Amino acid sequence: KVTTIRFSPNNPIYSLGSIKVLILLSLITFYVILINILFLYYFYDIDKIEVTFNNLNNIIK
């Protein structure tokens, strides 16, 4: 699913696609975008919801 994302009134960012991950009682949708972000903040957010990313095999659990 492609989605339009805006972080400010500037130009929109279009997602390249999405990944749905089922954890315990809910389904979480991650949108894949090309943007420069602070990578450590990203890991902090996914750690709070207890999602792990195995970068050796490109697997999200």
What distance in Å separates the CA atoms of residue 45 and residue 50, rounded to the nearest whole number? 9
Cβ proximity of 21 and 51 under 8 Å:
yes
| Token code pair at residue 56 | 């050796």
Q: Which residue has the higher pLDDT, 2 or 18?
A: 18
pLDDT at 50: 76
pLDDT at 41: 61
pLDDT at 42: 65
Using DSSP's 3-state secondary structure scheme, residue 40 falls into: helix
pLDDT in tens, 13-57: 888 888 888 888 888 888 888 877 666 566 666 777 777 777 777
Q: How many domains does the chain have?
A: 1
Q: Which residue has the higher pLDDT, 37 or 58?
A: 58
Q: In whole angstroms, how far apart are CA 30 and each of 9, 10, 53?
A: 22, 22, 12
| Strands 26-32 and 17-23, bridge-based pairing | antiparallel
